[in-house]
Chains A and B, each alone.
Chain A
Amino acid sequence: MADTTTQPLKKTALHALHVEYGGKIVEFAGYDMPVQFPTGVKEEHLWTRSEAGLFDVSHMGPCFLTLNSGTRAEPAAHEEIAALVETLVPSDIKGLKPGQSRLTVLLNADGGILDDLIITRPYAEDRQGMLYIVVNGAMKEQDWGLFEAALAGQATLTRADDRVLFALQGPKAEKVLAAYFPECAGLKFMESRRMYLDGARCMVSRCGYTGEDGFEVLIPAEAGAEFVRLLLDDPCVRPIGLGARDSLRLEAGLCLYGHDLSPEISPVEADLSWVIQKRRREAGDFPGAERILRELKEGPARKRVGIRPLERAPAREGTEIYVDGVPAGIVTSGGFGPSLDAPVAMGYIDAAFAAAGTKIELMVRGKARPAAIASLPFIPARYKR
């Protein structure tokens, strides 16, 4: 029976390029997105680690929050907008330096994670009182609703998901991008600047989700489609699909919302305590603070860990973890790491068994298979610090 309630899938401004480059298109977060290109996931993954991979992430949720009183050249304006957002997240947003980005999480009243996101304070002196935020594509309607409620008429949310947002990741990313944005070479990991490309205003951030050095660029749709076409003409650059995006982030030990993070899981359990800076811990002024502060003090009952299966069989999401024949946890992301040439996984396990090196068993197709807890990331990050 046909499902008549299904919305037609949205397409990003780069859709025609995906098709032209032979992308295999699947549904993701309500969008038609390329899962892989003709060379395949493994080759795309390895290419990103050695050259430069271009990822369309326009399905995500970039937005700007701006004080209704307008931006101005006063640090107090930043504090004003940051205070509104700090009611939703446990990170120190007030303490961001101009041009600095920070990973954080939206929390529910129980301290569970509603989404993970990146918040950036503009660098330009005259743009204080504004924040640039990128949330997950599948969660953007929820997140934007939360922001709008928290802004309480004092600031306005402007969606920017009608633009192109792409990531250029890998050791050649700086060289390729600096030909168009010379300033980008001066950025360090988690720093952002407004830059111009033939008059088109862009937000260029040195960040990404592969463990490699690289950039994310927010650019108006039409200019973005032209620019991406130009970048793909560079022999160092290839388009990369969602399949390799997933294997790259898994090797890098990075969480995927809806899999490794959920409304039941706290940032302490998720091994993301580092997103809660000192000032916020001392103040305890964020949703779910009671649980989170208790877990910080006493340690969580379960913890997110890396897992290395010791045989060749990958352990997929949902695989049960046993220790000495007793259930002890579950795999939340699992597959094969092309750079390691071995299966890799992440999951949650009773804190007693979370130490790296602990021997565990994974129930794959009814058979217990040996594995070990591993420290994350599986491959060292190559961010430019």
Chain B
Amino acid sequence: MTIYFTKDHEWIRVEGDTGTVGITAYAAGQLGDVVYVELPETGAKFSKGDDFAVVESVKAASDVYAPVSGSVVEVNGALADAPETVNAAAEGDAWFVRVKLADRAELSGLMDQAAYEAFCEGL
């Protein structure tokens, strides 16, 4: 199991050809109090970089981008009733979707934990 990160502050935890996707704790901190998360439906297909979800704070709405291409196999329905989980556990319970990866080779373009931490420090 390996976790990867994007410059847009999404994470993807990969097991075999399935990935669990969410936004990072850094992103959640920047957004502030999350009040709504809009998720795609199971079966939806995305290309790497597509906006596939929306996360809204009191003040603003922000797009969430697909870290890799794939199709949605499961969505985290618990976020509908408890969007604040994104602030409490961005990289744990507040996962957004599970996707079936279309092309594992896309993972090589993402950052590992250390690289992402260094990236955030530079912001």
A residues contacting B by CB (< 8 A) are: 35-36, 40-43, 45, 243-244, 246-247, 312-314, 316, 335-336, 338, 343, 365
Are A41 and B80 interface neighbours, CB within 8 A? no
Interface pairs (29), CB distance under 8 Å? A35-B59, A36-B32, A40-B33, A41-B33, A41-B59, A42-B32, A42-B35, A42-B58, A45-B58, A243-B32, A243-B59, A244-B58, A247-B58, A247-B59, A312-B36, A313-B38, A313-B56, A314-B35, A314-B36, A314-B56, A316-B60, A335-B58, A336-B35, A336-B57, A336-B58, A338-B33, A343-B35, A365-B38, A365-B54
Write the nearest CB–CB distance from A55 to chain B, whole angstroms: 16
B61 interface hit (Cβ, 8 Å):
yes
* Bound form: Cα–Cα A221–B1 in Å: 58
Task: Tell me which residues across on chain B come within 8 A of A335, comparing CB atoms.
Answer: 58-59
* Bound form: Cα–Cα A336–B58 in Å: 5
Main secondary structure of the interface of A (DSSP, over half): mixed
From B36, B38, B54, B80, A336 is in contact (CB under 8 Å) with B36
Write the nearest CB–CB distance from B37 to chain A, whole angstroms: 9
Chain B residue nearest to A246 (CB atoms) is: B59
Chain B residue nearest to A35 (CB atoms) is: B59
B residues contacting A by CB (< 8 A) are: 32-33, 35-36, 38, 54, 56-61, 80, 83
Task: Tell me which residues across on chain A come within 8 A of B38, comparing CB atoms.
Answer: 313, 365
Task: Tell me which residues across on chain B come within 8 A of A36, comparing CB atoms.
Answer: 32
* Bound form: Cα–Cα A365–B80 in Å: 17
Write the nearest CB–CB distance from B42 to chain A, whole angstroms: 17
- Give the residue among B38, B58, B61 with the most A Cβ atoms within 10 A: B58
From B32, B33, B61, B80, A314 is in contact (CB under 8 Å) with B61
* Bound form: Cα–Cα A312–B36 in Å: 6
Task: Tell me which residues across on chain A come within 8 A of B33, comparing CB atoms.
Answer: 40-43, 338
Given contacts A243-B58, A335-B59, 6 further A-B contacts (CB under 8 A): A40-B33, A41-B32, A45-B58, A312-B35, A343-B36, A365-B38
Task: Tell me which residues across on chain A come within 8 A of B58, comparing CB atoms.
Answer: 41-42, 45, 243-244, 247, 335-336, 338
* Bound form: Cα–Cα A45–B59 in Å: 12
Sorted from nearest, which 8 A-B pairs have the closest CB atoms?
A42-B33, A336-B35, A41-B58, A336-B58, A40-B32, A243-B59, A312-B36, A40-B33
* Bound form: Cα–Cα A334–B56 in Å: 12
Task: Tell me which residues across on chain A come within 8 A of B57, comparing CB atoms.
Answer: 41, 336
Chain A residue nearest to B80 (CB atoms) is: A312
Write the nearest CB–CB distance from B118 to chain A, whole angstroms: 23
State whether A336 and B32 are in contact (beta carbons under 8 Å apart), knowing that A312-B80, A313-B38 are contacts in the complex: no
Write the nearest CB–CB distance from A320 to chain B, whole angstroms: 15
Task: Tell me which residues across on chain A come within 8 A of B54, comparing CB atoms.
Answer: 365
Task: Tell me which residues across on chain B come within 8 A of A314, comparing CB atoms.
Answer: 35-36, 56, 61
* Bound form: Cα–Cα A244–B61 in Å: 16
Chain A residue nearest to B60 (CB atoms) is: A316
* Bound form: Cα–Cα A41–B30 in Å: 12
* Bound form: Cα–Cα A335–B57 in Å: 8
Task: Tell me which residues across on chain B come within 8 A of A313, comparing CB atoms.
Answer: 36, 38, 56
